[in-house]
Chains A and B, each alone.
Chain A
Amino acid sequence: MSSEAQPQTTAHATGVKEPDPKILVFCCNWCSYAGADLAGVSRLQMPPYFRTIRVMCSARVDPEFVLRAFQRGADGVLVAGCHPADCHYIGGNYRTRRRIALLKMLIQQFGFDPDRLRLEWVSAGEGEKFQKTIIEFTNTIKELGPSPMARGDE
């Protein structure tokens, strides 16, 4: 699941090299991390451009974590948690979905494409959904290109 050993650039058909996307994935301990783990042990193939941070609950993802990730050059942030009604802490994911909705509005005001932030529910049994989410999200981020944060405006 780590991309440590990956080359730092991807050669495109045009020959122009673009840096690899940097995607940060927060997984809650009880469902999504287990789902990600299942994807791994099932040897499901995924683009290797994401780093996973395990948190106890999706609600542990302080909105500031997301903003700091973008500040430090993340091209995309994915927050994965238990399906509604399944959060280990009963309502953590309900808070999460409210925060993510507001955060999407907020990063859009900051000039980011809101699609750079994604929320997905992944249960412990959904290794394939984790794989599908990573593939889709990586494609979205590749379409969007590098985060505008890196370029600055001044």
Chain B
Amino acid sequence: MAEKIKIAQYWGAGCGGCDVALLDIDAKILDVHAIAKVVVWPIGFDGKLKEIEAMPDKSITVSFYNGAIRNSENEHVAKVLREKSAVMIAFGSCACFGGTPGLANVTNKKEIFETVYKNTPSTDNPNFVTPQEHYKAKEGDLELPKFWDSVKTLDEVVDVDYFMPGCPPTVNLIAMAVDAVAKHVTTGAPLPPKGTVIASDKTLCDECKRERVEKGKRIDKIYQAYEIKPDPKKCLLDQGLICIGPATRAGCGAMCPNAQMPCRGCMGPTSGVTDQGASMLSALSSIMNITDKEAQMSEEQIMTMMMQVKDPLGTFYAFTLPKSPLRRIVTEKKRKG
């Protein structure tokens, strides 16, 4: 067989789940091994950044980058891999949309450092020593990455060719991507168009087997997942659980609803919309009940009804805050007048 292709896998601000996920494809990993040499994969192989930096441009066939971009090291490696790779894939929800680490955009570096290095009950740090970017030690100069106020998505810092959402992407989707690359390499089959999201173009509800009772079903009360034992066959949203399915891209096989848990939206927005949060906010507003007394209701009463949604930002943007129109929180000045 021809010379093996090179692949790289790297992690930014992530949990490590995506880094392991590549192994979940079981025997298919042998297909990968048959055609590819892995040049860097933090939990799998050794591989030094210096070596990558010394490689010719575009000499890595495909890089899978997981995790969001939250410090200078994340960005630097993303840029190096982009330069050295023919194909750059945002692997997992963190790289695609910011994911769970992206929720840190409700705060900033200062607050995070205060919590982590001072205020947690188990921290004993009276002088509030925090990580320094530069430190002169006897043995030489030490450097740590610069920590930012905001979490970014991979495509905010480098050009991304394909997106593989999921927290982490499922085995099926990884196999799809591996197949596409393998076919391209072995038979010259064309790669999907740039920008393709490697998942389904449908909505999670299309993939979900739960019965939607009646069309136009409305709910009066919103429950938290721990408050009720939902009917195992019926749509969870119809039962008052906030299931993000209507605003989420299919591709995971509706894993969470299958396990009696509402979807939290890790596959990101559907192909038709850009903002998953606004899309779910809209869907939820439409299924809240309307009675004969609606015309007499005040906006305050409506507000009380909607306040059943305890944490709209955390509910609607659990995985996509850095990708949302507002990206991060801001601070109002004091009111004049």
Residues of A within 8 A of B (CB): 62-64, 66-68, 70-71, 84-85, 91, 94-95, 97-99, 101-107, 109-113, 119, 139, 142-145, 148-149, 151-154
Q: Provide the residues of chain B in CB contact with A64, threshold 8 Å.
A: 273-275, 278-279, 325
A-B contact pairs, 6 of them (CB 8 A): A70-B326, A85-B294, A99-B282, A110-B329, A143-B336, A154-B148
Inside 8 A of A111's CB, which chain B residues have their CB? 329-332
A153 with B149: CB separation less than 8 A: yes
Cβ–Cβ < 8 Å partners of B302 in chain A: 97-98, 101
| Known contacts A112-B330, A143-B336, A149-B326; is-contact A91 B281 (Cβ 8 Å) | no
Q: How many residues of B contact A (CB 8 A)?
A: 46
Considering the complex, which residues of chain B in the window 307-337 have a beta carbon less than 8 Å from any beta carbon of chain A?
307, 309, 311-313, 316, 324-333, 335-337
Interface residues of B (CB under 8 A from A): 106, 108, 148-150, 273-275, 277-279, 281-282, 284-286, 288, 290, 294-297, 299, 302-303, 305-307, 309, 311-313, 316, 324-333, 335-337
Q: B297 contacts which chain A residues (CB < 8 A)?
A: 84
Cβ-closest chain B residue relative to A147: B330
A145 to B333, CA, bound (A): 8
Whole-angstrom distance between the alpha carbons of A30 and B329 in the complex? 36
Give 14 A-B pairs besides A70-B325, A98-B305, A154-B149 with Cβ atoms closer than 8 angstroms.
A68-B325, A84-B295, A95-B286, A101-B299, A101-B302, A101-B303, A102-B285, A102-B309, A104-B303, A105-B307, A109-B311, A113-B332, A153-B108, A153-B330
Asked if B331 contacts A148 (CB within 8 A), the reply is: yes
Chain A nearest CB, measured from B97 CB (Å): 15
Asked if residues A94 and B290 are in contact (CB atoms below 8 Å), the reply is yes
CA distance A64 to B316 in the complex (A): 12
